[in-house]
Structures are given as C-alpha cells and as structure tokens.
Chains A and B, each alone.
Chain A
Amino acid sequence: MTRRAVRRALAAFALALAGVPSPADDTLAVAFTPDEIAKILAHGPWPPEVKRDPSNRVSGNADAIAYGERLFFDTRLSANGLVSCARCHQPGRHWTDGQARSIGLSPGDRNAPSVVDARLNRWFGWDGANDNLWAQSIRPMLDPREMGMTEAAVARTIREVPDFACRYRRTFGRAPGTDDRRVVVDVGKALAAFQETLASGRTPFDEFRDALARGDRAAIARYPDAAKRGLRIFVGRGSCDVCHTGPRFTNGEFHDIGIAHFAAPGRVDPGRHGGIATVRSSPFNLLGRHSDDAARATATSTRHVAQEHRHFGEFRVPSLRNVAATAPYMHDGSVKTLADVVRHYSELNEERLHVHGERILKPLRLTPEERADLVAFLETLGDGAPVFRHTERGRLECE
C-alpha cells in the first residue's frame, strides 16, 4: 500500500462525508473512519507478486510443475497404492477434504488445510514443522498415517514407473539416481512447483478494497452493507486483523486461541512446541544441504526460531481467503461452521488462556446481528472457487 493510495482513499472518505448522505446512498450507509480505512487498505492489493522459491531450483519450471501435478494426483506414492495428495487436498473442495480430521492410511489428528496460496507461507502445517513447501510435500509421503512410504520406496517408485522416471529426467536433467534421499527431495520440489501455481483469485472484498483506494463511490456501494459492518468489527472492536493481517489475512505465526488440544482422550497435540523441535532437526529444513538457496537468505527465521513454553498448544494462524469454502475449522476441525468460529471468539473461554500469553483475546460479546455481519464479511473473501483444470502437460504421458 503506497502512501499515495492511502491519501487518495482518505480523500475519498472525506469526500463521502462532505456529500449529502441519504438513506439511499449505499456509499455512506456504512462509513469508515480514516483509521479503519487505513486498516482495510492494508489487506491488499491482491494478488501479490509471484516470486520463485530460491530454495527450490525447479520453482516456476514448467516441466517441474507438470511433474508435480502428475505426482499430486497419483496414488502410487502411498504404501497401499490408494492414497494421493489429492485425497486430502481435493480441487473441488478448495483443496481441502471437508473432513474434521483427515484420513490417509489411517485417521490423523489434524484438519487438512487448503494448499492454495501455500507458496506464501513462512511456516507449513498447523505446527510449522516445516519451513518450506518442498519439505512439507515430503512429509505426508513419509508419515505412517498418511501415505506411509519410506524414502527408499518413494525413490524406487520414481525409478520404476516409466512416466515418473521420464518426467524426472526432463525436469532435473538426469535420471533418478541411487541416492534415495536426493530423489525424495526432488519429488518434493516438483510437488512444490505445482502447488506454487495454486493461487486464489480476486474476491468481492478485493474489489471493495481497491474501490476504496481509488475513491470509486459506485464500486464501494456495490459491497454489501452487512459485509461492511462485519469488516468494521474485524478491523475495529474485534481486533481480528491483529493476527489475520495483510493481504492474505494471516501473520503466518502461531497462537493459542483457547481451543482444546487433546488429539484423543489422553493424548495431547503439542502444536507449535513440537513443530519447532521438528523443523529445527529436519534434514529438509532451509539450513540443510538440500536447500538450493546457497546464500541461505531464506533460512533466517529457521536459524533464530526458539522453543518457548507458550508454544505448547499454539497453532498456525490460517489465511482467511476462501475461508467460507474450507469448513470445518481449527487445527482439529472441531468447529463446524464459520458462524461457530465467530461464536467461539464472541464467547471466548478466557479460562483456557494464559493471562500473559494472549492478551489480545477477550470475549467479543457480539450480538447475533453482529455475528451475522462478521460472517457476511468473511464470505466476501471467497474467489468463487474456480474449477481446476489439469494442464495438457500434466495429462500427457512423458515419452
């Protein structure tokens, strides 16, 4: 957001106030203060600039993208030959599975997040156990409850399936060798290259936000009043934008919002506390030899991340783009609807929060109308879920 755009938006706001308001004037039916406008403009512009991932030498490579697409939907990278990445990340469900907790080879503990816009993450997974998209793509293949493969089994499959081996050669310029780990890392990088292409589109909110930036009263008026009222709560009394910041509506970090984190009776999901231990010791982290970022400039966060007591039970703040299309919610899918999420914050159980840990969180005590407004705003963060179409390159057999 440039200063000029903010000035222009504030000028538009002043213009709006200077006009003669009437009940029929939708532009003024819900007016925002200069402070609110500045906060709203901070949630754009969208989409962000596309950048390749320096840690992945095939990021943005067309052959890698096609290879990753093929692997993403193929079940042969699972121990029983029945599970693909797309089982939990289904294009028709906005790349989630609609389940509270996903089921691979066996039931898991967590809700499958969408992989759309995943390229913008700093940390991956609800616990941030990975610091890059290719490592995060390797994780489910090797998780016994998800796809259940070993590194040797993944590498063998790549070597033995002609299409996989052909695409590997085309993408990496050599045949898959005998170094299993190297093959696994390359598979992760191809999968990441494909997922980097999954970007969410423009939303009604983006149209409103940009209209506000350029002072387009007609376009501002088209944004529903209920959404405007909800947005005011979001950036105002609710302070939702403290954690759901920026164009992607997330600060990318981890918080405890008072959700119970028993994975099962008698078993706790440690959340970020465990994730930090994992990412620091992972052979696939950005500090390790598999990163293609020779300068390790992408590894600063990993180098400095430290485990603290407060991390126990913290989970990643999700993006809110397309949030209405990705129910159920929270790390364990324990909250069924968007209205339930809003109710959670409205009636927040402070007893579950450490006095010092999450000072921002207080019960919002919203009226039913206010809760509905907040939901109406969140629903404008959807891009209409465009239909995913397989690419020609991904569909054709490699020869």
Chain B
Amino acid sequence: MVPRHARLLVASALAMSPLAATAADLPVFDAHVHYSHDAVEVLPPADAIAVLRKAGLKRALVSSSGDDGTQKLVALAPDLILPSLRPYRTRADVSTWVRDETLVPWLEERLAKSRYVAIGEFHVYGADADLPNPRRVVELAKKHRLVLHAHSDVDAIERLFRHDPRARVLWAHSGFERPDEVRAMLRRHRNLWCDLAFRSEHGSDGKVDPAWRSLFTEFPDRFMVGTDSYTPERWHYVVEHANWSRAWLADLPKDLAERIAWRNGEALFGAAPAR
C-alpha cells in the first residue's frame, strides 16, 4: 500500500520539475544516485524510476543505505539501474563502518544474494583506508570484479590502490580536489575514474572552466556526472541536475561531451560482469 502523500510526492515531482528530457537531448549516465530508506518512504520505487526516466538518464549507478532501495529499483528497471552495494545499513554507518565488525558479514551476505557492479559509495579518509574493513572491501571488490566507489581524500585513494593495484576506483566528487590534484591522480592511476557529483565550479552557468576543460581534454575517458540524492528532497533535483549537466556539456566538443555524459559510464560498467 503506497501512502497517499507518497503518490502526491511523485505526481508533484514530475509535474513541477524542470522540463523533462526529450529524445533529442543528450543521454546522461548518472553515476551518483542514492535511494536510501528515507527516500523509499516518500517516493515509491515505480515513481523513482519515473523520475529517472524523465531526467533522460540512460543509466544510473544507484547505491542505498540499507540496500533494499537499490534492489527495488533493479527489479523494476534492470535496463536502467546499475546496482552498487553501499556498506551502510543506515546512513548513520557513514562514520562507523570502517570499524564495525558486523559489517563485512552483512556485505558478504548481500553479495551472495544479489548482483552488483560496484561497492560504494563509501566514505573513507587517510589511514582509515588501511583498517580491516576497507581492506576487506577491496578484497571483495577484487573477488567479485566490482568497481570501488570511494568518497575519499587522495591519501585514502592511494591506500586503496596499494591494497589492490589493479582495483578500479570511481572517485566520488573527485575527492573535492582542485583540477591539478585530480590530474596528478589520473596520471598516476590508469584505473581511476572520477565523478563530478555535488560540485558546480567546473560548469557554472553553462560554461566550462578552463582548468577543467583542460583536464577533461587530457582525460576524456575518465569523467562522469552524478546528482547525489542524499536526502529524499534531492530526488526533486535529479531532472534539474541532468539538464544543468547538459548545459555545460554543450560547451564541450560533441564527442567529449558524450563521453562524459554517458559513454564513460557505459564503458566502465559495461565491462563489469553483472553477478
């Protein structure tokens, strides 16, 4: 039974959002979507899928605190949803997961039960990446051939690669680092990809910042966009974010824009065998 207010939510979300994408619009691979327990409560899965389709998303990399939200979306739209296993049962685990001894068994149980293309988004910084849980997560990713979606600083990313030099890492928010630092990391690590979620400075007002343009040009195969729907309200921002992304991508050469918009996501996750 879907609560009445939830139905109102999606009706309104769809009606009041900015203009829906059309067939002529640039497809978008959204590499940073969360559908956590609090969002599930107010936005039923079918309506969440409707929002993603309205945004013109070709695919969405979805992770959810609790994971159930992700599974509900995959069941409804396997063509659209790429599931990522977030190591959080509730979002409160964000600051405790690295030391929580009960976590790894939960992850293993989930991995045995469902298919995923990634583990994350998880938050780990500095030397915490050397703790047993992050190490085990890297091992699980290796074992199951999954991408690591890491919200981390440079130090932690380096440590993750030390644990497995062949790991494939999607660097959430590109670590909120400046273009020069992102460039240095991309030059050092061939298996590092970057999402641009929750940052605006690279494409404000539909214009690509010169430093970022240079970086996108040097690494055309490594960037992708993402919304980061970390609260239920942010689902009302998915469509607007996709359109905002299209606006600044239009300031790039067509081929480069398409790569960042969706081809890079397809290339990275298309290569990941679904389990």
Contacts and interface: CB of A to CB of B under 8 A. Distances in A.
A127 to B, nearest CB: 14
B198 A309 contact: yes
Contact of A265 (B8, B237, B241): B8
Interface string A248-277: 000000000000111011111010000000
B231 A313 contact: yes
B176 interface: yes
Contact of B200 (A261, A266, A308, A351): A308
From DSSP, what is the main secondary structure of chain B's interface residues? helix
A268 B198 contact: no
A169 interface: no
B10 A356 contact: no
B152 to A, nearest CB: 11
B13 A266 contact: yes
A356 B125 CA distance: 13
A261 B11 contact: no
A265 B200 CA distance: 28
Given A260-B233, A306-B204, A354 B8 contact: no
B1 interface: no
Interface string B71-105: 00000000000000000001110110000000000
A261 B234 CA distance: 10
Nearest to B236: A268
A266 B151 contact: no
B61 to A, nearest CB: 17
Nearest to B88: A351
B234 A351 contact: no
Contacts of A270: 236-237
Given A266-B11, A309-B198, A309-B200, A356 B173 contact: yes
Given A354-B228, A355-B151, A266 B12 contact: yes
B234 A312 contact: yes
A266 B16 CA distance: 10
A306 to B, nearest CB: 5
B200 A306 contact: yes
Contact of A261 (B94, B173, B233): B233
B173 A265 contact: no
Q: Which of A261, A355, A357 has the most CB of B within 10 A?
A: A355
A266 B91 contact: no
Q: Which of B7, B231, B237 has the most CB of A within 10 A?
A: B231
Interface of B: 4-13, 16, 38, 42, 65, 90-92, 94-95, 123, 151, 173, 176, 198-201, 204-205, 228, 230-234, 236-237, 241
18 contacts: A261-B233, A262-B9, A265-B6, A266-B9, A266-B11, A266-B12, A267-B16, A268-B13, A270-B236, A307-B204, A309-B241, A310-B200, A350-B94, A350-B95, A354-B228, A356-B176, A356-B198, A357-B198
Interface of A: 260-262, 264-268, 270, 306-310, 312-313, 350-352, 354-357
Give 9 nearest A-B pairs by CB, closest first: A266-B12, A265-B5, A266-B9, A266-B8, A308-B200, A351-B91, A268-B236, A265-B8, A268-B233
